[in-house]
Structures are given as C-alpha cells and as structure tokens.
A and B are shown apart, each in its own frame.
Chain A
Amino acid sequence: MAEHQKLVILATHGTEDPERATIPFVMGTAALASDVDVVIGLQGNGVWLGRKLEAEHVFAPGFPPLAKLMTDFLELGGKLLICSPCIQSRQLSGEDDLVDGVEIVAAARFVAEVTSATSSLTY
C-alpha cells in the first residue's frame, strides 16, 4: 500500500507579489489532484490572500486567476490555515473578514501540521 502523503505549503506573499502568491495554490491543487493531502498556511503578507475578495485582484501572468485556484483548492479538499497574530497585526478582525473555509490558528498548529507532513514548501 502506498505511503500516505501530506504536503504543507507556507504562503508568505500577498498582492505585492502576484506570482509568489499564486504558485502555492498551483502546487496545492496539483498535489490534491495527485491524491496528496494538502495544507496551505497563510503567514506574514500571505494572510492578505485570506481576506474576502482579495484574491479577485491577483493575477500572475501565465497562471490561472488566483481566485479560481483558491476555489479549486477548497473544492478538492485542501485545508487553508491562517496565522492569528499575522491577521491581528494587519487589523483583519476575524472570521467575518476572511474567506469561507479558512481556519484561524497559531504557531503550535502550524508546527503540528509541518511535522506531520511528508513534504513542505515555503513561498
């Protein structure tokens, strides 16, 4: 039986770098399509991607629109986590500001996800 695989991707860039904001979701959706469990963690400026409608404004040349990729990611069963202190420091007040399906977590949860993964990537 094949080893169960889990990929954790930490996304640390938002609208200021559309390509690095988009690639985590390209990799995440491709991994889900390949029967790999995927967690994407939004940290630093990456938390802007978790704000409602923010992804609608992110377009990286050569890639599908970020909003479509994020929708595909969640529909395929991907898990989306967002860093609690990072959203507080940016005055994203809580779940009402965030996209549906995102879970607010802190450092220990990120550590648990990364240490239980078979692979991790950081963008």
Chain B
Amino acid sequence: MTITAVDINTVVADKVIDARGTACPGPLLEAKKGMATVALGGVVEIWSTDPVTKTDIAAWSGKVGHEFLGAVPADGYDRVFVIKRK
C-alpha cells in the first residue's frame, strides 16, 4: 500500500521529537536518539524548522535501514515520519 500525504496526517507517532530551532545535524541526532526509545515497527515523528531535514532524514533512513514515511508541513515547520525497522 502506498502511503500518501493524507495518510501521514492520520499517523499517530509513538515518539514525537521537537527539534525545531536546531541546525544540522541537530534534528538527525535527535532522531537517532528517539529511535532508541521505540520498539521495532514504532513510528518516530520529528518536528523541524530546517527545510532540508526531511530529505536528510530520508537519506539517513535509507542508509541505516529504517523506513521513511514522508513529511507534512505544519505551522512554520515540517513533521517528518520514520518507522523503526532495525
């Protein structure tokens, strides 16, 4: 099943990380820490005001073996979703 942006809006994360206001690589490091707090299959949601976080987290997810779900814009920041797969 393909997950669309509309579907992402319905996802309830197991862990929400507020990395707004932090610069690269802050959101990535927070995501890494957050992954350690959820079970396999759990969803981590990262909030970031850095517009490149969504592409950076996508690249990181592919590198380390997590599943990048996508990102949706919120009020001045992005909500980025990743499923823990390892």
Contact = CB atoms under 8 A, between A and B. Distances in A.
Interface of A: 26, 29-30, 33-35, 62-64, 69, 72, 76
B24 A34 contact: no
B64 A26 contact: no
Nearest to B56: A30
Nearest to A72: B29
Contacts of B82: none
Contacts of A76: 29
B23 A30 contact: no
Contacts of A35: 63-64
B32 A26 contact: no
B25 A26 contact: yes
A62 B60 contact: no
Interface of B: 22-26, 28-29, 31-32, 60, 63-64
A30 B28 CA distance: 7
A64 B63 contact: no
Contact of B60 (A34, A64, A69): A34
A85 to B, nearest CB: 31
A64 B22 contact: yes
A60 to B, nearest CB: 9
Contacts of B60: 30, 33-34
Q: Which of B24, B25, B29 has the most CB of A within 10 A?
A: B25
A33 B23 contact: no
Contacts of A29: 25, 28-29
16 contacts: A26-B24, A26-B25, A29-B25, A29-B28, A29-B29, A30-B24, A30-B25, A30-B28, A33-B28, A33-B31, A34-B60, A35-B64, A62-B23, A63-B23, A63-B24, A69-B25
